[in-house]
Amino acid sequence: MKLLINETWGGFGVSVYTMIHTASKKGIKVVPYFGKMDFVSGTVVYRPIDDVKEFDKKMSTGDIVLLADCNLQEFVAPLGDDDRLKKFSPWWFSPDDNRTDSDLISAVEEDGDLAFTPVNKPTVVEIPDGYDYEINDYDGMETVYAGKDLRVI
C-alpha cells in the first residue's frame, strides 16, 4: 500500500499546484484563492492566486488556500466559517485525511518537486498490504511504523 508522509520540518501538506492536479484527476475544475486574515473585522479576504508555482515557493505554515469553482475577483468570509466556504468549494479535500488517496499519490509522484513547498515535502512510502500503520510526527518530520496488530504496550 502506498502512503504519503512529510519528510521535512513544518508539517504534512502538498503544494497548491498538486492540489489542483489532484482535483483535475478527479474530474473537478477549481480556481485557487489565497485568504488573508483580517483580525480587526474577524474575516478572511480571498483573492485568486495568479501564479501558483511562484505562490508555492513562498508558501508558509498558516497560509489559507481555498480551491473554489467560482471566478470571483474577491470574496469575504468570517474567520472559521467553514460551512460558508463550502458553498464556494464543493471539493472540500484535506490531504492530511487522504494520505492513501490514489489520485493524490499519483499527482505527488507525477509532480515531483512541484509537490513541495518550503514547509512540506510529501513523500510516497510503501508498506505491505494488510499492515496496520502509525504515523509519528516530530515538528512536522514524519516516520511510519507498520506491522501486524500494532498496539501500545
% of the chain residues with pLDDT over 90: 24
Largest Cα–Cα separation, the chain: 54
Type of residue found at 109: E
Judged against a pLDDT cut of 90, whether residue 5 lies above it is answered with yes
Note the pLDDT of residue 121: 93
- 7's CB contacts (< 8 A; 6+ apart) are 121, 122, 123, 141, 142
- 75's CB contacts (< 8 A; 6+ apart) are 33, 45, 46, 88
Strands 31-38 and 122-126: unpaired
pLDDT band with cut points at 50, 70 and 90 for residue 108: very high
Note the pLDDT of residue 140: 82
Note the pLDDT of residue 88: 59
The residue ranges of every structural domain in the chain are 2-147
24-76 tens-digit pLDDT: 898 888 888 888 888 888 888 888 888 989 988 887 655 677 777 777 788 78
- 135-139 mean pLDDT: 89
CA–CA–CA angle 100, 103, 109 (5° rounding): 85
pLDDT band with cut points at 50, 70 and 90 for residue 1: very high
CA 30 to chain CA mean position, Å? 14
- Residue ranges with strand state E in 7-127: 31-38, 43-48, 64-68, 75-78, 122-126
Burial 1-18 (b: 16+ CB within 10 A, else e): ebbbbbebebebbbbbbb
Report the distance separating Cα 31 and Cα 49, nearest Å. 8
85-107 tens-digit pLDDT: 666 565 566 766 788 999 999 99
